[in-house]
Structure 1
Amino acid sequence: MPATDLSLLIDAALEAGKIATRYSGSEAQRWDKPDGAGPVTEADLAVNAMLEQRLPSARPGYGWLSEETEDNADRLSRDRVFIIDPIDGTRSFAEGSRTWAHSLAVAENGVVTAAVIYLPLRDLLFAAAHDQGATLNGEPVRVSQTNDVQKADILAAKPNLDTRHWRSGQVPEFKRSYRPSLAYRMALVAQGRFDAMLTLRPSWEWDIAAGDLILREAGGVCSDRMCSPLRFNNAHPRLNGVVGAGPDLHPLLCAQLDPAGTGIDA
C-alpha cells in the first residue's frame, strides 16, 4: 500500500462531506433504483462524480468499484481497487437525519489496506491503514473486551433475530441496538461503543470494505456470516453477511449462528 493512500482517502472524504452537506437532505432530488435496489439522491451522484474524478486520477493503476457507478470487469485485472459508497445511509440522508457516512477504501489483492468512514454532520472521521491501527478524529480506538454474548450490546436490524438464523432456533439474549448506516455500525464496534455488529443477509462490498479494516485495526475480528475472512473485489461484489466483534466475542457469536440460515433476508 502506498503510504499516501490513507491521506488521499481522508482528503477525498472531507471534500465529499462539503459536497453532500450543500444539499438539504429531504429536499434533495431523489429517485428509486430499479429492482428494489433502494434510493439514490442528487447528493449521492454529486459525491460519486467528484470521487470518480479525483481518486483514479491520483492512482491511475487502481480499479474502481462504487455503488453509484455501473460496474465493469476492468477492476478484476487490477491488484488494487477503490471500493466506494458515496453516501452510506441514503435513506437517512433523504429523511434529513445526521446518521449517514462516506465510506472509502482501497483493497489490494482482496484485502483492504486503507479505509475512511466519515460522518460530516456528526464530525466523526474513522480511519485506518494496514498495521497502523484505527483512529477516530486522530485518536486511537479499540474494540471492547466483552466475552459474554448475553451481556453484549450488539448492533443488528430486527430481521437478524429470526430464529432460523440461529442454531436450534434459539436467539441469544443479547441487547440489540441499531444505527442506519452499516459502515457506521462497524465503526462504532471499532470504537468500543458497542460490542458487536451483524448483518446476516448478502452485503455489498462498498457497504463494508472500509469498516472491515477499521474494525480489524482496532483489534477486532470481521468475517462473513459463515465466519470466513472477508475478501474483496469479487466478480459479483456481494459478500455473505458480516459479523464484527472483539476477539473473544466473535467466535462465541459464530458458534451460535446456523449456517443453514444463509439467504434469509436480514
Structure 2
Amino acid sequence: MSVAHDRDDLALLAEVAAEAGRIALRFWRKDPRVWWKGQSPVSEADLAVDQYLASALLGARPGYGWVSEETAARPAAGEEARFFVVDPIDGTRAFLRGEPDWCVSVAVVAGGRPVAGVLDAPARDEVFLAGADTPATLNGAPIAARTGHGPEETLRLAMPEPMRRRLSERADARIAFSPNVPSLALRLAMVASGALDGTLVGARANDWDIAAADLILERAGGRLAGLETGHHLYNPVPARHGVLVAGAPDIVERLRSFAAQAA
C-alpha cells in the first residue's frame, strides 16, 4: 500500500475525529443517559459518537473492516484488508464525571500494525496524530518520548491505583508517581509527548484502547510492550491484553520489572 494512501487515511481520521469530538462535547457535562455493560458504563454519548464514526469512516472507505468498543466487528471486504479500530470515547468514566481527560481514538490497521492514528481530546484542546511514515505530533508540533534515562534515575510514572499501592511500598523503586489518567489512550500519548517517562497498564486493556496511541508512541520514539512480548499485531478479532508497559526503549526492561512486582 502506498505512502500516499496512508496519508489519505490519516487526513480522513483527523477530520472525522474532530467532528466526533464536537458531537461528544454536546453531551459532556449535560448528564447523558448511562447503561452498564458488566462493570463498564456506556452513555448515549458513546453510542452517538460510534454511530457517527461508523457512518463517516465506512462511508468513505466501504471496503475497510471495523472494530469498535460499542458495535460488532466486521471483516474487510476489499483486497486491502485494512480495518478501522475505534473507541468513540476513551475514558468514559472521566467523561461522565465532567472531567476533561477523555478522547476520541481512531486508527487504521494494515498488515497487523496501525498505519494511521488520531486521538482527539476536545475538552483538553489536544489532538495527537501519527502516520506510519510521519512524526507524531500534538496540535501540529512534533513530539518525542523522553530518552537518555540513567539506570538509577527516578522515573515519572502513572499507573492504576492498585499497582501504585504495591510499588509505593518499595523504597528502592525510584518512582515519582503522577496522577493516573483514566483514558489509557491519553496516558500513552503523555508518554509519547514526554509529559510522563512511562506508564504501567493493568491487564484486560483491549485493542480499541491502544491502537491509535500505540502508533503515536512508536512514531515518537517510544515503545508499548507486554511483559514478555514486543509489538502487538492487531487483527479484526479484538484481543484483550495482559499487563503492558510503555516508555522509551531504554527503560522498558525497568518498567517490566516494576510491572511484574505490581501485577
Given the two structures, how large is their TM-score scaled by the length of structure 1?
Answer: 0.88
Look up the match of 2:193: 191
Look up the match of 1:8: 12
Look up the match of 2:175: 174
Task: Answer whether contact 1:13 1:118 (CA < 8 A) is retained.
Answer: yes
Look up the match of 1:223: 225
For residues 245-256 of structure 1, what are the structure 2 equivalents within 5 Å?
Answer: 245-256=247-258
Cα deviation digits, residues 69-119 of structure 1 (max 9, x gap): 0235x3599721100000001111111111110111111121011000111
Q: CA deviation at 1:133?
A: 1.0
Task: Answer whether contact 1:26 1:95 (CA < 8 A) is retained.
Answer: no
| Aligned counterparts of 1:245 and 1:212: Cα–Cα separation in 2 | 11
Indicate yes or no: 2:32 matched with 1:31.
Answer: no
Structural RMSD (CA): 2.4
| Aligned counterparts of 1:186 and 1:50: Cα–Cα separation in 2 | 25
Task: Answer whether contact 2:200 2:259 (CA < 8 A) is retained.
Answer: no
Structure 1: which 5+ runs fail to align?
none
Cα deviation digits, residues 165-214 of structure 1 (max 9, x gap): 9xxx9982311221111000000010001100111312110001111000
Structure 1 pair 173–208 and aligned structure 2 pair: CA distance change class (3 A): same
Deviates more, 1:144-153 or 1:112-121: 144-153
Q: CA deviation at 1:238?
A: 1.5
Counterpart AA for 1:173: R
Q: Name the SS of the counterpart of 2:146 in structure 1.
A: coil
Counterpart AA for 1:60: P
How many corresponding residue pairs?
A: 254
Structure 2: which 5+ runs fail to align?
none
Deviates more, 1:217-226 or 1:229-238: 229-238
Structure 1 pair 17–183 and aligned structure 2 pair: CA distance change class (3 A): same
Look up the match of 2:56: 54
Task: Answer whether contact 2:83 2:236 (CA < 8 A) is retained.
Answer: no
| Aligned counterparts of 1:94 and 1:26: Cα–Cα separation in 2 | 9
| Aligned counterparts of 1:204 and 1:80: Cα–Cα separation in 2 | 19
| Aligned counterparts of 1:6 and 1:249: Cα–Cα separation in 2 | 30
| Aligned counterparts of 1:160 and 1:241: Cα–Cα separation in 2 | 11
Look up the match of 2:155: 152
Indicate yes or no: 2:72 matched with 1:70.
Answer: yes
Task: Answer whether contact 2:73 2:236 (CA < 8 A) is retained.
Answer: no
Q: Name the SS of the counterpart of 2:83 in structure 1.
A: strand
Look up the match of 2:133: 131
The share of aligned pairs that are identical, in percent, is 38
| Aligned counterparts of 2:56 and 2:44: Cα–Cα separation in 1 | 18
Q: CA deviation at 1:150?
A: 4.9
Task: Answer whether contact 1:134 1:217 (CA < 8 A) is retained.
Answer: yes
Counterpart AA for 1:104: V
Q: CA deviation at 1:162?
A: 6.3
Q: Name the SS of the counterpart of 2:174 in structure 1.
A: coil
Task: Answer whether contact 1:227 1:254 (CA < 8 A) is retained.
Answer: no
Q: CA deviation at 1:31?
A: 1.1
Task: Answer whether contact 2:145 2:191 (CA < 8 A) is retained.
Answer: yes
Deviates more, 1:193-202 or 1:147-156: 147-156
| Aligned counterparts of 1:191 and 1:91: Cα–Cα separation in 2 | 24
* Alignment match of 1:21 (pick from 9, 21, 25): 25
Q: CA deviation at 1:132?
A: 1.0
| Aligned counterparts of 1:127 and 1:222: Cα–Cα separation in 2 | 16
Q: Name the SS of the counterpart of 2:19 in structure 1.
A: helix
Deviates more, 1:52-61 or 1:134-143: 52-61
* Alignment match of 1:44 (pick from 26, 46, 49): 46
Structure 1 pair 258–242 and aligned structure 2 pair: CA distance change class (3 A): closer
* Alignment match of 2:204 (pick from 199, 202, 205): 202
Q: CA deviation at 1:248?
A: 1.0
Task: Answer whether contact 1:195 1:246 (CA < 8 A) is retained.
Answer: yes
